Structure 1
Amino acid sequence: MGVPAMATVAVPAYNCASTILPALESIEASIAYLKALRGPLSLVEVVVVDDGSTDSTPDLVGEFALTRPHVKLLSQANKGPGAARNAAVLAGTAPVVMYLDGDDLIFPAHIAVCLDLLEAYPEAGFAKTGVRLDESVHPDWKIGIANSIVINCAVRREVHDFIGGFFEDAPFKALHAEDALYSALLMTFFTQVHSKLETVHHLVYPGNAFDRQRAKFTAPPQAGLEAMTSTEKEAEPEVMRIYEERRQALAAKPLEGTWFGPPVNQQGPRLILGD
């Protein structure tokens, strides 16, 4: 029997041939950092889900994985990043799940910091870290971005399963709301441990999620909301209806699994500062 993985890094990838290898190399550097601290048996599995790319993304990942048995490539028809992340988590085995998009980076300390936080605070269902942003983001948006994205997040598998994973409904893809409302469910039902250390780099490339929302994030919140496209405005009511339906269903759901942390924050969201 092999040594079990400590963490699964789920990587959704769609037409990111120009950025996927730096993203994967950043994970490799973080794994090396972890092993230097904890020893060579500190294993991390990486699951990349190609979400119907039409460029060379799957070929590049496949070649990358040839010499790295801890890296797995799965392929599916284009369903959006939420569905791709869910597929990656399902294919993984580790008790802790982390995320990296195919066009972002993690810094070497990221995996170790996240594992340290969850081990130091067993009552926490998930951990979040600081985010480096290149783009000139309006100050009022910075905290919101860090709270809503998931590349700076490490989640206990039972917690991911409890909230039902990421939303895969079409309106969420149209609104680019999969990350934000996944994070909202985490914060609603579980305690967060947070480190202000910046361990991830959220980058801007032409056409990526951050770039598509550039007008919103560089303006004050109210003006940014007015910059929503007509498609996004049409999707928002249905997104909120589906979200609220799931939130209410989760309120009465028991937590199942091997982690015995508190399943529901009875007093509302709780934040532990881990540094």
Structure 2
Amino acid sequence: MKISIIIPTYNRAPFLAEALESVIKQTVFPTLFKNQEVEILVIDDGSEDNTRKIVEQFKPYTTYLRQPHRGVSAARNHGLQRARGELIAYLDSDDLWLPEKLAVQLSFMKAFPRCMVCYTEEIWLRHGRRVNPKKKHQKYSGWIFDKVLPLCLLSLSSAMFRRQLFEEIGFFDESLPAAEDYDLGIRAAHRYPIHLIERPLIIKRGGHSDQLSHKYWGMDRFRIKALQKALSLQLTPEQERLVRLEIIHKAQILVQGFQKRGKNKEAIYYKQLIQEQTAKLKN
């Protein structure tokens, strides 16, 4: 059972070296590599630093694929298109895997062949210091469609997918400059149960200035787009109700934010969206 490890990156050479090191140091990596059951695809999204040199230091384990700067969703999709594995594992270039990550998830996926996606608990670092996730970040297992609507629970660096999942629900939405993981999580949780391995097996590093959450103000703009897309899925009446309520909630936050910034046109748009969704709920 071959696994494709996909690492999208953009101008993160120092982080990337550590991320790659964490993959090479997986307990099962030597055996997988010897048996040609693993590949590491690094998708360079048009970096201007020494990303290529970093990747070359990890030959013969890595395959370097470069594209013009098109965003993280396009990079993820590029890797998926080139991947040859039945199993897919993403690693963001600023995150790290703990040594047992692959071994635990491979064992789980082999034990449960009908499982399409599993994910793990995480250790969080902010500016190099460990922080505890808030209660709202609690992870769940099973049919968790209602749980993935408020925020992104499916951390891609912690997940392992069967390729079949992407063939069924589609790839990453390249029209979204951010929150593409949130969008994918909604589609995945609608289609299949998502299984949680209750053990921290990755380190998520945050606080650096190039994170998309820092680059784009009002991330809920993109989450609302994902929720609007979700309305086209074959939802139950209760699922549809939850999606519309979440659109209203996120739109209310954006209205306040735009008003504070004096952006009345944008505030009016989201006020109208609230009215539309409220009317739909009453029908």
Residue number in structure 2 paired with 1:21: 17
Residue number in structure 1 paired with 2:162: 156
Give the TM-score normalised by the residue count of structure 2: 0.70
Q: CA, structure 1 residues 131+236, in 2 after alignment: closer, same or farther (shift >3 Å)?
A: closer
Residue number in structure 1 paired with 2:174: 168
Residues 49-86 of structure 1: CA deviation (Å, up to 9, x unaligned): 0011122222322x224x31x41111111221111111
The reply to whether residue 58 of structure 1 matches residue 52 of structure 2 is: yes
Q: How many residues align?
A: 221
Residue number in structure 2 paired with 1:194: 196
Matches within 5 A, 1:95-244: 95-135=86-126, 136=131, 137-143=133-139, 147-169=153-175, 172-173=176-177, 176-209=178-211, 212=214, 229-230=217-218, 232=219, 234-244=221-231
Q: 1: CA distance between counterparts of 2:108 and 2:3?
A: 13
User: Which structure's relative contact order is higher, taking Cα pairs within 8 Å and 6+ residues apart?
Assistant: 1
Q: 2: CA distance between counterparts of 1:6 and 1:244?
A: 35
The 8 Å contact of residues 203 and 210 in structure 1, kept in 2 or not, is answered as: no
- 2:197 is aligned with what amino acid? S
- 1:8 is aligned with what amino acid? S
Q: CA, structure 1 residues 21+242, in 2 after alignment: closer, same or farther (shift >3 Å)?
A: same
Residues 164-201 of structure 1: CA deviation (Å, up to 9, x unaligned): 111111xx21xx21111112211110122221111111
- 2:53 is aligned with what amino acid? D
The 8 Å contact of residues 13 and 50 in structure 1, kept in 2 or not, is answered as: yes
What residue ranges of structure 2 are gaps of 5+ in the alignment? 140-147, 237-283
The 8 Å contact of residues 117 and 193 in structure 1, kept in 2 or not, is answered as: no
- 2:85 is aligned with what amino acid? A
Give the TM-score normalised by the residue count of structure 1: 0.72
- Per-residue deviation at 1:114? 1.1
2:7 match: secondary structure: strand
Matches within 5 A, 1:42-53: 43-53=37-47
Q: 1: CA distance between counterparts of 2:191 and 2:5?
A: 23
- 1:148 is aligned with what amino acid? L
What residue ranges of structure 1 are gaps of 5+ in the alignment? 214-227, 252-275
